[in-house]
Every structure is written in C-alpha cells, then in structure tokens.
Structure 1
C-alpha cells in the first residue's frame, strides 16, 4: 500500500525548507520595495502574474488591499488587450514569475517604462529578464519544488505567497493599520462597505456617462469611449433607451473582420441585449454579476433607460473587491 503520509511529510519538509530559505531575501531590496509602496500614498499596487503565479498574485493583491495598501490584480493577457488602461501614472506594478521570463509580462514592460510606472519584480531567477528590467527585484528562489518530478509549481508558489504576505504585513505595521481600520474594509462585524455600498454610489452619470446613438460612426464612438475612459459606450435612442453596447472587445473583433471604422455605423456592430443592472443593486452583487458574465463594464438602467455606467476599476477603487 502506498504510504500517503510519508509523501505528505516529504512535501511539508520540502516547503518548510523553501520558506526558511527566504530569510536571506528580506534584504535591502525588500526594504526599498516597502518604503517605495509606503511613500506612494496616491497610487495603487497593480499585481500581475501568469498561471499559478497569477493565482498567487490574486491572493497577494487581496491581502494588500485588505490591510491598508490600495492594490488589485490585472491579468497580463487582458492588460495587453485593454486592461492596461486601468494602470495610471503613480501606480506601482508588482510583476510575479518564478522563471522571470513570462512573455506576457515582459511584453508590457516597454509600455510600463514609457508610462514611467515603477516595476517591482518577484522571481526565482535574479539573472532573468524580469529581474534585470525591474526597478526593484524581490528574490524567491527555492532549493527545489515539492513535486517529485519537479514540474508542478509547489515550493515556489508557497515561497511567493510568503514573500507577498511578508510585504503586506510589513506595510500594515509600518502605516499603523489597526483592527478598527481592518473592520471598516471587511464584511465581518458591521458587515462593512461590501454590504452597504450600492452601484448608484459609484456609477458614472451625466457628462461622464458614455452615450452614442445608433447612427454614430464607429470612429466617433471610439472618441466617446476614449474620452469617458470606461472601455465602452452605451448605444441609446433619443430618450436614452438602451439599444446596445460597444466595448473595447467589440472593437478588436470588428478589426479582425476588417470592418471600416470610418464608414460603418455603431448600430451595425454593437452588441444587442447586453448585461445590465439596476443602480440600487449592492456593489458586491454587481461584482458577482460581472464575474459571472466575464465582463469588465456594466450599464445601469431603470425602465431600460441608461442612467449610469461603471467598470471593474470603479469597483476596485471603491474597495468592494
């Protein structure tokens, strides 16, 4: 009979050794990273990672956000197709890859550099391109993976998670984040903002609401999308009754079909019957709806009349996620 307990203990011992190995990497670079993030009061920490590093990155972003550091996760693949617009001057990118050679992340470095975004890389290879090109490198090298065939990320992902936790907890203590502060941003206790905040509290309205008519040229609709910064526009009639939506994703699809954006009308290429929500919906429910439908933007309607709009970035800024 196979000895499951022995196999489990071997994994435990291997990963314990990997964590202990991290002590040497809480060095000057780690201190610089902490000081840089702490001093960046108006910016956010944008965490990126592919595959297993992405899963760990999601958790690191969540831990940072819940302990006083404004942070959120952006998938590198989605960033290359529009979500890069969620990153603003003054933000800090925390790029995670054990190999340090993630093509999807490295492809974003030139744009991030052009935007003068500070990059902190977290890799297991100090000689990798991500380590060399970043402003600060946090090393997470482990002796070996707990996987017996050395293929599945195991010890390396554990080390990454611990490094992220160490970063978040060091920042939490440095800024004097208290139990009261923690309660204000969590649904425990008084239930927090997630159970009180409505979509109407954070939606864009009035002149900030992206609206075009169905007979608008695509190129003119793109100007509306660009000016309003939500990655989409509602298509409405003269009474603001919803007819459809056009998003950054729709633009990529029509370009693939070689549609002429200078002559085609938005009504011919818009998505009809888009997902919408009532502005009185709880923001937490809005997040669930957007994740369920795999969409980044949401139109808010009452009696089919568009009264507001928001995107995932608005929910992130509001601290709902």
Structure 2
C-alpha cells in the first residue's frame, strides 16, 4: 500500500447530530469537543442537536465543522491509522492546519471562530452567492467569468466542476450563459461569495489576527488550498490569509498527492463530498469517509 492522506471536509457538509458518536466512542474525539466548549461554550451542543438553520450560519458552521473534522482525524489516530500527509477543503484547511501542528489546539479553534465571524461580516457587507458549473472545462468557465464584472472562479473541485462566486444579479445572468454554452450551473445554498474579492475585508482582518499567533513548523506535510504546494512555517501566514479571498485549488491538491505516492484517502468530518471529488479526479485509489462510529470501524477493518 502507498501513502495515506487525511482530507478535511469543508463548509456545506454540516448536519444536525454530526460528531455525536465520535464524542461518545472516542476519548481523543471527546477531547477536541471539550477544548471547543472551553473556548466557545455550546459548540458540541450545536453539533449534536443544533437546527439546520442554526448550523447554516457561517459563525456557527465553521467552529462546528472544524470540531467534527478534527475529532474524526483524532479518532483515527487513536485507533492506529496515521496519515502521511493532509489537506483540507476551504474551512477544512483550518482543521488540517491544527492537525499538522501549525496551529496549537487552542489557537486553531480560536482562529476558526474569528475566521467565521469575519467571513460572515464580509458576506453581509458585500453580498454574493455561488454556483457550481458542470460539464464545461475550467478554461471555458474562466472565459465566461470574464464577461462579468463581479463573477469569479473560486473552487477548482475536479474535472468539469468549477464553482464560481458572484454578485447575485450577475450570477443569475452567468447561469444563463452557462446553459447557452451547453454546461449546467447549480446555485449553492451558501451565505456569501467565498474565496473571492467579496472576502477582502475578512482577509485583511484575519491577517491582523494571525500577527498575534505563533505558527509552528508542520509535523506532517500539509498541502495548501492557495497553490496546492506544501506549507512551510515561513509562508504559513500569507497562505492562510490569502486562502480566504483566493480560489481553492482542490483538483491540483489531489493530483499532487497522488503524484507524491498517496493511494488511500480518508475524508474526515461530515458527509462524503470530498470522497466524490476524489473519485472523479483520480483512478486506482481507495477512498474512505469517517464521520461516525460505523465509518470509523469500516476504515479500521480495511486499513489495520
């Protein structure tokens, strides 16, 4: 077997009840939630019993998803499954940064709370939305975006799937243009135009937050959303800051991991979105998704 990668789920995968079984069956996972609750009381309760509406608010989504992502990763390590490298999709990158050791446990959670608040404020002050474009090449989508003043390619997910962010009225016209080019655009249920200039204020604010934190040398290789390259402590601050208002190069991350010898991917955190993107991007790889007791045991059965 080749190398194992943990990939940390991103915003949009949340659901009520997420993480509860991990909390109940893994001491390592419970510790993650305990730290979260000590800094932001009620985080575990939101994960385990919060309403869909409550969990859809960015200020709640990000701390909760971060906790479940990190809890799943810690539960795997506790069970004896260790990754050779990691990456996280958008919000998931913050949990991956903590897992890799760039953030301390407390600083990682504190930062994700500040990130969530800053991004929600940016979304409210600079309203935008997002759409997933299917069936067109990245180059076709990029060309279509250039027809509009405020529509930007932001999430390079997998072949023939690129998410764009845009001003709402322009995005409606963009969706129509995609159809004219024989593509398909699906509007996403999100609260802002993430990973685009709509988030410039958040990036500026969080750059100042990072000035007050100590960032450490990663103890495990972690691939950056910004350019799909490996993080270094010297470039960590700029990568974390620029990730907020620049595109996520997820397809390139997966391709670089595979080129570096990864043939087993474990999605950690709620849902199976990243598992689907992996299967659409790479061939001849194993893919697992760990989010509860059953999926943890399934991964253990195959890998231990």
Normalising TM by the smaller chain, what interval? under 0.3
Q: Give 1 or 2: higher helix fraction.
A: 2
Q: Which structure has the higher relative contact order (CA within 8 Å, separation 6+)?
A: 2
